[in-house]
Structures are given as structure tokens and as C-alpha cells.
Amino acid sequence: MAFQKHNAHFLAWSLNGLARLTNARRSCSTTLDETFFSEDRKKACMESLVKSSEELSRMFRNVPTTLPAAVLVPFCINRCGEPAVLLTLRSRSLSRHAGLISFPGGIADDSDASATETALRETEEELGIPPANVDVWGPLHPLPSMGSTILVTPVVGFAKPSTSSSLIYELSANENEVEKVFMPTLRSLCDPRAWEYTCLKYPGVPDHASPVFCPRR
């Protein structure tokens, strides 16, 4: 599902949750302080994200939606041992949200028992990450996707590698759906120089100014 355009409102409140996690090392190292993704930090991050997503979900509650969907918001460790979040560039040949930056995810199947199951299934289909390799932190409140009737539930988790030092070495991207995979660090996303703003317009909802992330290289 689209990150910069269709999930822009998710980014409005995700910054607070990221800030509760961020304390990344500046140097490139394959080691990471084990306390970074501690239970206390995970709890604080999720409390912040759930509260903020509830407020936004209430704001958009009158937007008509018909299709349930879910995305995985996968924290991970990049090849330098830095805390990051995994994103994809969607294939330009797709019929929906082509060529947009995205979290892995998609429309729910009838066989999916929950939004979490949808997010994990789609992530495995797109990137080859087995559900067993994702430490699911929990779902957030759903939000409507711009320009469609899709209702998206973000599911936060930590995607861990099976054997290597970084998940990037184990990904098997589906070329029919994913053009590129990248991992901006949490530090870069929390840098104010990476923030810009857009105006979200939904029928029946007051215009909503939301930040979007444009990480510096």
C-alpha cells in the first residue's frame, strides 16, 4: 500500500512512536545494543502509536470504505546494524498504486482471519519474509486510503533475519509487485530536515495538514 501519498496521514503520528525507539548508532556496525528493541521501548512505542492512530481514525470515521486491507510496518536492522524501517517501491506495472513508495501489504482475502494475517501474508508474497520471522507488536486503528474505498489497518512488527546479520540479504522480492526495497534508518526519519507537508483532502472531512518523510541521503 502506498507510503508517501496514500498513507501520508499515518506518517503524521508515526513520528512520535519512532522517537520513542530512536537511539541509533552513527557508525556502520553489524552489532546493536540489545536494549534497543526492549519490551519497555516496544510498549512505549505502541502506546503512542495506538493513541495517535485512534485520534486520526476518529477524524476519518465518516469516510465511506468497502475494501479491508492491511500493511505491515516492519522495523528492522539494516546492513550497517542500524534500526530502520523496511519500505518498497511498487512495480510500475501494477493496476493499483503503481510506482509509489509503500509498506508491504494489500487487500484482505476471504481466508484471512485478521488484519495481522493479511499483512503477514502479503509481506511474504511481496518480499519472501516468512510470518515466523516477524515479531508482531500489534495492529493500529484503521485509516482510509486516499482516492479509493480501501480501509487500511497498519500492523506494527519487527522483521528479523533467519541467519544473516541483516534482513536485506535474505529478501526475495516479487518482481511483479516490487521494483525496489530500501531501509531508511529511524534516525533519518526523525531528522526535521526530512519533513515536508501535504494537505489531505477527503469528502466530508476538513482539510488535514500532514507531514511526509523525505529522508536525506
Q: List, in order of start, the domains of the chain with CATH numbers.
A: 8-23+33-213 (3.90.79.10)
Contacts made by residues 162-166, CB under 8 angstroms, sequence distance 24+: 162/130, 162/133, 165/30, 165/77, 165/79, 165/81, 166/30, 166/76, 166/77, 166/78, 166/79, 166/81
114's enclosing H/E stretch is none
Position 136 scores a pLDDT of 96
Position 20 scores a pLDDT of 52
Position 199 scores a pLDDT of 81
Q: How far is residue 167 from each of residues 31, 98, 112, 137, 176, measured CA to CA in Å?
A: 14, 25, 25, 18, 21
Query: Residue 24 above 60 pLDDT?
Result: no
Position 100 scores a pLDDT of 76
pTM, to two decimals: 0.81
- Structure confidence at residue 2 as a pLDDT band (50, 70, 90): very low
CA 200 to chain CA centroid, nearest Å: 19
Position 44 scores a pLDDT of 92
Position 109 scores a pLDDT of 95
Are 63 and 202 spatial neighbours (Cβ–Cβ below 8 Å)?
yes
76's enclosing H/E stretch is strand 67-77
User: Which percentage of the chain shows pLDDT scores above 70?
Assistant: 78
Query: Residue 96 above 80 pLDDT?
Result: no
Position 180 scores a pLDDT of 86
C-alpha cell at 87: 519500505
Segment 113-162, tens digit of pLDDT: 999 999 999 999 999 999 999 999 999 999 888 777 889 999 999 998 88
Q: Mean pLDDT score of the chain, rounded to an integer?
A: 80
Residue 178: what are its φ and ψ, rounded to 5°?
-120, 125
* Nearest residue to 216 via CA among 202, 195, 197: 195
Residue 54: what are its φ and ψ, rounded to 5°?
-65, -40
Segment 59-82, tens digit of pLDDT: 888 888 889 999 999 999 888 888
Position 216 scores a pLDDT of 61
Are 167 and 160 spatial neighbours (Cβ–Cβ below 8 Å)?
yes
- Structure confidence at residue 165 as a pLDDT band (50, 70, 90): low
Q: What is the mean pLDDT of residues 159-173?
A: 80
